[in-house]
Structure 1
C-alpha cells in the first residue's frame, strides 16, 4: 500500500509501500527452506545467537506454533535478509512511526489520549502462550493491521536510537522523559506520547543480533 506524507511536526516521509501484516512463521519458514545459511542450525553466530527461532520445534519444523502468527525470535540481520529476498526492505523508523500513528479513524492520532492509552494497555499485558494470527484485528486508517497489539517490530535504522548513560552528570532535554532513555530521532509529538517514547526506549536497547520472543518485522518497499 503506497503512502506519502509529512508528520504533524513536518518530518517528511517519501512515498513508500508497506505490507499490510507482519511476516508470519509460515512465510519465514519458506525463506529458511530456500536459504540454508539462515537456518537455526547454520546461521553464523555474528548474525544470530542461541535464541534465534528458538520457539520452532526444529530447524524446518514449526511444531505447535501457529503458522499464521507473526514470526518472532528473528534478528535484524535475518529480517533484513528476508526482506531483500522478497525484493523489499525493512521500513525506516519514520515510515513505521507514521503508519503506527494512525488509529482506525484518524491518519494521525498520536495525540489522541484514548488511542495512546489503548497502546499502553497492550504494552502492560504479558505475551500470550500462543500468538494469534496476523490480520485478525481491525485495520488502521491506512488499511494496515497490527501496528500495535501483537508484537514489536524491527525497523531498518533502529540503531539511530541511543540510550543515555546513568550518570547524574548527563545533561540535555532527554533526561526528563523515560528513566534516562532517549532518542535522537524522536519528534516533538513523539516526546508528548509516552507510548511512542517507550518504543524508542525499546529500540535503543536492541542490538542487530538480538532475538526477542515478541519482536518480529514487516516489509516495506520504495514507490518507483
Structure 2
C-alpha cells in the first residue's frame, strides 16, 4: 500500500506545479517470467505466435524457448521483458489490477531505502545514472535482490525499464514525428521542454524512452508491474 501524497513531479503540468496522488497499491517487484508464463498458459491468445501483431510485434517474448517454455535465456525469477504495452495491460487486468500511471510510478521511484523523496541527493542520482550507463544486453538479475525502498518496493531502478498505463501521454510538447521529418529520433529533446527538474536526467531518460515507443513495441529491458 502506497499512501497518498502531494508531490512535485519532474514533469511540468499545466494545471499545477504540485500534484496530488491518491493512495494505491503497487507490486513489490516487477512481474517475472514465471508469472507471465502462468498468464499465457491461462490465456492462450497472448502466447507468442498467437498474439496479433497489432498488439505485440514479432520480437514479443523472443527470448523464451517456446510459446509456453522459458528456457535458459529466461529464468523464472527474472523480470519478464520483450512484452508490449497491450500484453502488460492484459496481464494486469487479468489480476484485477492495472498498470500504474506515471505519477504513481514517479512517486515511488523517488524514494531510496530511507527517504520517500531522495531526488535532491546527488549521490542517489549518481547511483541511478550508473545503471543507465550499462549496456542493454547485460544479463538481468532476478527480482527482489535490491533492498526495498522507503515504501517497501524493490527494483524501481537498476533492473529494467517499466511500462506505465499512460506512457503515451508523457510528451506534453508536440514532437518531431508528426512534422514529416524522417528522423524520428529528434523528438527526444522535446521531453526536456516538459520538465520541471531538468537536472533529473534519469527521469528524462525514462520519459524519452517510453515516449518513443508504440503500444505494440517490445525491448529486451522493458517490463512492468501492476497497481490497484
Normalised to the residue count of structure 2, the TM-score between the two structures is 0.86
State the match for 1:207 in structure 2.
214
Residue 204 of structure 2 is aligned to residue 197 of structure 1? yes
State the match for 1:119 in structure 2.
128
Task: State whether residues 161 and 183 of structure 1, in contact with CA within 8 Å, keep that contact through their aligned partners in structure 2.
Answer: no
Structure 2 segments unaligned to the other structure (5+ residues): 9-16, 178-186
Task: State whether residues 66 and 131 of structure 1, in contact with CA within 8 Å, keep that contact through their aligned partners in structure 2.
Answer: no
Residue 34 of structure 2 is aligned to residue 26 of structure 1? yes
Q: Secondary structure at the match of 2:4?
A: strand
* Cα deviation code 1:187-209 (max 9, x no counterpart): 524x3311111111111111100
State the match for 1:5 in structure 2.
5
* Aligned residue-pair number: 209
Instruction: Specify which of 18, 21, 25 is matched with residue 17 of structure 1.
Output: 25
Residue 141 of structure 2 is aligned to residue 147 of structure 1? no
d(CA) in 1 for partners of 2:215, 2:192: 17
d(CA) in 2 for partners of 1:134, 1:48: 24
Shift, 1:181, TM fit: 3.0
d(CA) in 1 for partners of 2:166, 2:77: 27
Residue 71 of structure 2 is aligned to residue 100 of structure 1? no
Task: State whether residues 80 and 223 of structure 2, in contact with CA within 8 Å, keep that contact through their aligned partners in structure 1.
Answer: yes
Normalised to the residue count of structure 1, the TM-score between the two structures is 0.88
State the match for 2:100 in structure 1.
91
Task: State whether residues 36 and 91 of structure 2, in contact with CA within 8 Å, keep that contact through their aligned partners in structure 1.
Answer: yes
Residue 58 of structure 2 is aligned to residue 50 of structure 1? yes
Instruction: Specify which of 138, 144, 150 is matched with residue 135 of structure 1.
Output: 144
Q: CA RMSD in A?
A: 1.9
d(CA) in 1 for partners of 2:117, 2:153: 14
Structure 1 segments unaligned to the other structure (5+ residues): 167-177
Q: Secondary structure at the match of 1:220?
A: coil
Q: Secondary structure at the match of 2:24?
A: strand
Higher strand share: 1
d(CA) in 1 for partners of 2:153, 2:166: 21
